[in-house]
Amino acid sequence: MKTLKAEVLIIGSGFGAAPSALHFTERGYDVLMIEKGNNIVPEKDFKQTMDPKYLLKYIKSIKGNGVQFTFAEGLGGGSGFYEMVSFRAPSIAFDLKDEGGNKLWPIGITRKTLDPFYEISEVNMNVHQIAKEEIPKNGIVFCKLMSNLGYSVDRVNYSVKDCRGASYCVAGCTFGSKQNLITTYFRKAESHGLKSLTNIQAEQIIPLF
């Protein structure tokens, strides 16, 4: 067994890990991030294919009692395989309560308190509302259908830059247009000293003090 030491250990490399990795490295901490899945070099490893064998190399699922989770296993987590749609949670979501009347969100966490952090993420991930000329043809048809049914329709916010319209977004963009955590957060963090290890799994965490 090999012992690894770091001031900050981050387990996993998905959306929850990226801000922490950048935050601590920018402040001078020695940060180590470990990922159970494979290393991914977007320019080399992503493929323009929907072949199930390729997709299932990264996309996994877990079933529980009445619930199923689908996730991506590899450096950057689901950021390489998501649809780029980037929403802010609506204010009403923070007022939701469970069957016992307890709020689902901690006291003090609201849309207003999270907005500054949304803004930081949107800058780092290049999130913006797509232009009208960038709407795909199937999106135009869907908009007309919804409008005919009486629903309001608006363009979504995408995490994308210089899209080429290859239409293999879920498979991972080979052109670097789709913004993922590897090419945004982690490369910035690496410039500040972030170290990462892939194909390694945390099985136990033991406090040293």
Q: Does the residue 169 lie in any domain?
A: no
C-alpha span between 49 and 165 (Å, rounded): 14
Q: Does the residue 158 lie in any domain?
A: no
Q: Does the residue 161 lie in any domain?
A: no
Contact 34, 9 (CB under 8 A): yes
Q: Does the residue 155 lie in any domain?
A: no
- Quick one: how far is CA 71 from the chain centroid? 10
Which region, left, alpha or beta, applies to residue 165 given φ > 0 means left and ψ of -120 to 50 means alpha? left
For CA atoms 45, 160, 31, 26, the dihedral sign is: positive
Q: At what angle do helices 18-26 and 111-124 cross, to 10 degrees?
A: 80
Q: Does the residue 47 lie in any domain?
A: yes
Residue 10 bridge partners (DSSP) = 33
Q: Does the residue 133 lie in any domain?
A: no
C-alpha span between 81 and 111 (Å, rounded): 26
pLDDT in tens, the chain (209 residues): 677 788 999 999 999 999 999 999 999 999 999 999 999 999 899 999 999 999 999 999 998 888 898 999 999 999 999 989 999 999 999 999 999 999 999 989 999 999 999 999 999 999 999 888 888 788 889 999 999 999 999 888 999 998 888 888 889 998 889 999 999 999 999 999 999 999 998 887 777 77
Contact 42, 142 (CB under 8 A): no
Domain count, the chain: 1
Q: Does the residue 148 lie in any domain?
A: no
- Quick one: how far is CA 43 from the chain centroid? 18
For residue 158, count CB atoms less than 10 angstroms from its CB and return exposed for 0-12, middle for 13-18, buried for 19 or more.
Answer: buried
Q: Does the residue 186 lie in any domain?
A: yes
Contact 33, 195 (CB under 8 A): yes
pTM (2 d.p.)? 0.84
What's the length of the chain?
Answer: 209
Residue 190: give the domain boundaries: 1-84+174-202
Question: So what's the pLDDT on residue 4?
Answer: 78
C-alpha span between 207 and 200 (Å, rounded): 19
